[in-house]
Amino acid sequence: MEEIRSLMGGFAVAMTWVNLALMLAGVSLGVLIGVLPGLGGANGVAILLPLTFSMAQSPGGATSAIILLSCIYWGALFGGAITSILFNIPGEPWSVATTFDGYPLAQKGRAGAALTAAFTSSFVGALVAVILITFISPIIAKFALRFGPPEFFSVYLLTFSAFVGMAKGSPFKTITAMMTGFALAAVGIDTVTGQLRLTFDIVELLAGFDFLIAVIGLFGIGEILLTIEEGLEFRGAKAKLNLRVVLDTWKELPRYWKTSIRSSAVGCMMGIVPGGATPASFMAYGLAKKMSRDGEEFGTGKVEGVVAPETAAHAAGTAALLPMLTLGVPGSPTAAVLLGGLLIWGLQPGPLLFVEKPDFVWGLIASMYLGNIVGLIVVLTCVPLFASILRVPFSIIAPVILVICAIGAYTVHNSIFDVWLMIVFGILGYIFKKLDYPMAPLVLALVLGDRAEDSFRQAMLGSQGDIRVFFSNPLVGTITGLALLLLFWPLLSKAIAIARGGNGR
Amino acid sequence: MTNRSFAKGLLAAVVASAFSVLTPAFAWEPTKTVEFIVPAGTGGGADQMARLVQAIIAKHGLMKESVVVVNKGGGAGAEGFLDVKGSKGDPHKIIITLSNTFTTPMATGVPFNWKDLTPVRMLALDQFVLWVHAETPYKTAKDYIEATKKAGAGKMKMGGTGSKQEDQIITVALEKQTGAKFTYIPYKGGGTVATQLVGKHIDSTVNNPIEAVAQWRAGNLRPLCVFDDTRMPYKDKVTKEMSWNDIPTCKESGVDTDYLMLRGIFMPGGVTPDQVKFYVDVLEKVRQTPEWKKFMEEGAFNQTALTGKEYADWVAKADQIHYGLMKEAGFLAPGK
């Protein structure tokens, strides 16, 4: 097959000692970047971009440069899970959903299992996406072109529905949390009218509420406040600390093959569309919760609850490079920076890149396989090391976490205002926990709120106000229909039960 | 200043001037890292150019201190401009601008004006081209405009980056000139706009060359005209048949509209002429590098690069033009 031959050529390009060393360096650096909240993959890659400029001038150098940068990206994808699981602080937006079950697992003393599951699922997700890229990239690239505003909106609607329909607890609390998220997402410039909203002439609010700061505060600081109240210790302190935990977890993982396949599919689709890794992780978690036999117990520390979002996030993160290469449209913020890099190096992403620079493209694709293998080895061997952090007494680790959170919040915009904002969100997170309000809907609305709003209004502009545009072709109609079905599933299932059982008892 | 440090400073000055006889040193040089502000997000046109400048300076060793690029894109760039406005007299800060220097304060009422900043120099001007899908029958701008008129007001969809910014201003100018009426649909980035056109979700765009070139070469898009008063000078073939130079100006095609976007550098207010000169000279060296020239050609930029008073005059005139266009379109914030 043509692709296999090209791929082997790619391996020949990627497998030089220099490139392998760059992969190792990139992945390690990426893990570090992923661990530090605030310093996201996009920032990390942007900072290193100028360094690669000289590198890209030598023959074959552009391939080495993209290998280094993309490996930072893989590393960040792996690394984001670490703090989510250990401290309930998502290092990256796409690891928020990983905290839902990852952190309870760590508290139960199964941090090693949670980390292993997260890393392995990440790897599986990436592998599926890379295989997809290798063999059917032209077909997928065309599929992505079919997404206009109505299609994007229906995908966001599906994400919300996948997550909302199954919310536990009081629906009013869920709605309150979600509306708060939407309100926060509306702050700043409005894409459609070009007007400022809800900024009250405060300079700091011009950029809106950054998702990362909210997340660091709500989850990280909120959690620390709770732990202080409940007594100064980590409940997960007695984690097993050897590599056996990796093997034990691996024995458990094949049981969740359905979730893996579903999450990979969701991830690949969201990466290509391009919706991005964050919605993918939420959607996969929501779907897993609905479809798994143990769905009811999600949130209490199920390995499956870690598998779902991590597989999807990594699949999406990897697949996001495809629209960047073939269409010149980045599927994620990090891909946007990589795209800038390609242009600076004098490469032109787009439909002809595969034809004109086969060495570069196939070298990159080969490096995706190798980079992820290198990444998996690096992070798995460090599992006991990461888990042992939980043995450090809380009175020592808490101030360290606080400092890391503060640095993270500061890094996002180099603004001290954000650090105060983080603390405010921390208090809000504490209150939410105390009053039993769910935080996930708030976070989801904050990260997807303005994108959903933009695409809805773009669709309305295009159709001149005709709402039927969301059913105007088979693609958008199917997604919208699926979303509505998921949204009303709780009501429908009750209705079905009533219809079947006469009086519903 | 204490006497001792004064003496030290004097000594340093003497030593420095002694060296300046040997090597032609600058009168002023940065003494710490220079912050290069981009009033837009990562990955866009301004960001690419800023990072290229940073990379060229580092590679060729054009400055002793390093340059860091900082994105402050909040509020359509207002975040970055207000930062520079508030850093009066700070010579270690420069900002790259796009049209939002003019449009953001007009559209949002955020209190800043380019006059709060010190103009350093123009780097280039970015072109805009009218694009349609390659499978449409429109061969010239005139064909397309006629079709738009015939279809009825608001039936043809023009996609662009942002709202009340350059793309929409061009659309309004085009409407004013021809009497055609589009439905303008704002997106977040130029790359997305190009793909939306390839996917036929919109009917036309006014993308920058660099945003659409890949799709043009792949045969998906067709350029109709460039919004400049002369053709682009680049004669190397981009597709099999056409070079940038083969695209007619909009005026030639009977749609007399032009618009160029500033890619220029400013400093905070209250800096000395020496400090401005330093950056003017460094950036001139950047412009002479092969990397810069290659970038200019690939993006089909208009390489006008004014400095000094001519630059300030150009900016003042552009401000006027924007004000006129924005006012006519009803885009001004209340009280502007």
- Which pLDDT tens digit goes with each residue over A404-421? 888 888 877 778 999 999
Q: For B76, which of A46, A189, A351 is closest by C-beta distance?
A: A189
Coil, strand or helix: which one is A165?
coil
pLDDT over threshold 90, residue A431: yes
- Whether residue B163 is found in the same domain as residue B227: yes
User: Is residue B84, in this structure, part of any structural domain at all?
Assistant: yes
On whether both B121 and B265 belong to a single domain, the answer is: yes
β-pairing, B204-205 vs B129-133, is antiparallel
Residue B199 belongs to some domain of the structure: yes
Do B106 and B156 share a domain, yes or no? Answer: no
Percent of chain A residues past pLDDT 70, beyond the cut: 95
Distance CA A101, CA A84 (A): 10
Q: Where are the beta strands (DSSP E) in chain B?
A: 34-38, 67-71, 93-97, 117-126, 129-133, 156-161, 182-187, 204-205, 221-226, 261-268
- Do B120 and B160 lie in a common domain? no
- Give me the number of domains chain B comprises: 2
In the stretch 56-85 of chain B, residues with CB closer than 8 A to chain A read 56, 58-59, 69-76, 78-79, 82
Q: A91, A84 in Cβ contact below 8 A?
A: yes
Distance from CA of A484 to the nearest CA of B (A): 24
Q: Do A149 and B157 touch (CB under 8 A)?
A: no
CB-CB contact of B169 with B326 (8 Å)? yes
Residue B193 lies in a domain: yes
Q: With an 8 Å Cβ cutoff, is B54 touching chain A?
A: yes
Nearest CA in chain B to A355: B218
Evaluate whether B130 touches B223 at the Cβ level (below 8 Å): yes
From the list A195, A207, A348, the residue facing B108 with the nearest CB is A195
B8's tokens: 């030290």
Q: Which of B85, B104, B188, B195 is most worth mutating to test chain A (most A CB atoms within 10 A of its CB)?
A: B195
Cβ–Cβ gap B188/A454 under 8 Å: yes
* B246, B278, B299 - which closes a domain: B246
Whether residue B138 is found in the same domain as residue B203:
yes
Question: Which residues in chain A touch residue B82, judged by CB atoms under 8 angstroms apart?
Answer: 203, 206
Q: A46 and B69: CB-CB below 8 Å? A: yes
Which of A54, A353, A462 lies closest to B59 in CB terms? A54
Q: Establish if B334 belongs to a structural domain.
A: no
Domain membership of residue B169 (yes or no) is yes
Highest mean pLDDT: which of A62-76, A83-97, B262-276? B262-276
Q: What backbone torsions phi and psi does residue B303 show, to the nearest 5 degrees? A: -90, 20
Whether B237 contacts chain A with CB within 8 A: no
Q: What is the pLDDT of residues A126-163, one digit of tens each?
A: 999 999 888 887 777 778 888 899 998 998 898 888 77
Whether residues B143 and B216 share a domain: the answer is yes
Interchain CB contact of B135 with A (< 8 Å)? no
Dist CA B291 CA B302 (whole Å):
16
> Whole-prediction pTM value?
0.87
The strand pair at B129-133 and B117-126 is best described as unpaired
Do the Cβ atoms of B162 and A191 come within 8 Å? yes
Q: Which residues have C-beta within 8 Å of that of residue A180, sequence separation ≥ 6?
A: A442, A445
CA distance B6 to chain A (A): 34
Please give the residue of chain B at the shortest CA–CA distance from A199: B75
Of the partner residues A330, A340, A413, the one whose CB lies closest to the CB of residue B47: A340
- Helix or strand (DSSP H, E) at B39: none
Looking at beta carbons, which residues of chain B come within 8 Å of A39?
A: none
The per-residue pLDDT for A331 is 66
Contacts of A323 in chain B (CB under 8 A): 195
By the 10 Å C-beta count (0-12 exposed, 13-18 middle, 19+ buried), A377 is classed as middle
For B138-194, the DSSP string reads --SHHHHHHHHHHH-TT-EEEEEESSSSHHHHHHHHHHHHH---EEEEEES-HHHHH
How many beta-carbon contacts under 8 Å exist across A and B?
165
| B182-187 and B156-161 beta bridge pairing | parallel
Q: B 160-199 residues with CB below 8 A of A?
A: 162-165, 168, 183-189, 191-192, 194-196, 198-199
Distance from CA of A207 to the nearest CA of B (A): 4
Q: Phi-psi bin for B86: left (phi > 0), alpha (psi -120 to 50), beta?
A: alpha
Supply the range of the domain harboring residue B299: 34-126+261-329
Residue B214: Cβ within 10 Å count: 23
pLDDT of residue A504: 44
What is the pLDDT tens value at each position of chain B, 336 positions in all?
344 444 444 444 544 444 444 444 557 999 999 999 999 877 678 888 998 999 899 889 999 998 988 888 888 999 999 999 999 999 999 999 989 999 999 999 899 999 999 999 999 999 999 999 999 999 999 999 999 999 999 999 999 999 999 999 999 999 999 999 999 999 987 878 998 999 999 999 999 998 899 899 999 999 999 999 999 999 999 999 999 999 999 999 999 999 999 999 999 999 999 999 999 999 999 999 999 999 999 899 999 999 999 999 999 999 999 999 999 999 998 877
- Answer yes or no: is B270 within a domain: yes
- Identify the closest residue of chain A to B156 by CA–CA distance: A462
Q: What is the CATH number of the domain that holds B206?
A: 3.40.190.10
| Binary contact (A329, B195; C-beta < 8 A) | yes
Domain's final residue, options B221, B246, B271: B246
B42: distance to nearest CA of chain A, Å? Answer: 6
Q: Check residue A351 and give its pLDDT.
A: 80
Query: CATH number of the domain that B295 lies in?
Result: 3.40.190.150
Mean pLDDT of chain A: 86
With a cut of 70, say whether residue A503 has pLDDT above it: no
Is residue B241 located within the same domain as residue B159?
A: yes
Residue of B nearest to A453 (CA): B187
What pLDDT does B177 receive?
A: 92
B111 and B148 belong to one structural domain: no
Contact assessment for residue A142 and residue A326, using Cβ atoms and an 8 Å cutoff? no
Give the 3-state DSSP-derived string for A209-251, with helices as H, strands as E and coil as C.
CCHHHHHHHHHHHHHHHHHHHHCCCCCCCCCCCCCHHHHHHHH
The Cα–Cα gap between B10 and B118 comes to 29
- Average pLDDT estimate for A326-349: 78
Q: What is the pLDDT of residue B18?
A: 46
d(CA A228, CA A64): 47
Which residue among B246, B276, B301 closes a domain? B246
CB B42 to CB A462 under 8 A?
Answer: no
**B47 in contact with A at a CB cutoff of 8 Å?**
yes
Higher pLDDT, A440 or A253: A253
Task: Tell me what pLDDT residue B21 has.
Answer: 45
**Percent helix, percent strand, percent coil in chain A, to nearest 5:** 80, 0, 20
Query: To the nearest whole angstrom, how far is the Cα of B212 from the nearest Cα of chain A?
Result: 9
Query: Do B117 and B157 fall into the same domain?
Result: no
* B231 lies in some domain: yes
Q: Is B15 part of a structural domain of the chain?
A: no
Using the beta-carbon criterion (under 8 Å), do B198 and A145 form an inter-chain contact?
A: yes
pLDDT recorded at residue A202: 87
Instruction: Name the token pair of A478.
Output: 């199917």
| Interatomic CA distance for residues A306 and A90, integer angstroms | 13
Put simply, the answer to whether B217 touches A350 (Cβ < 8 Å) is: yes
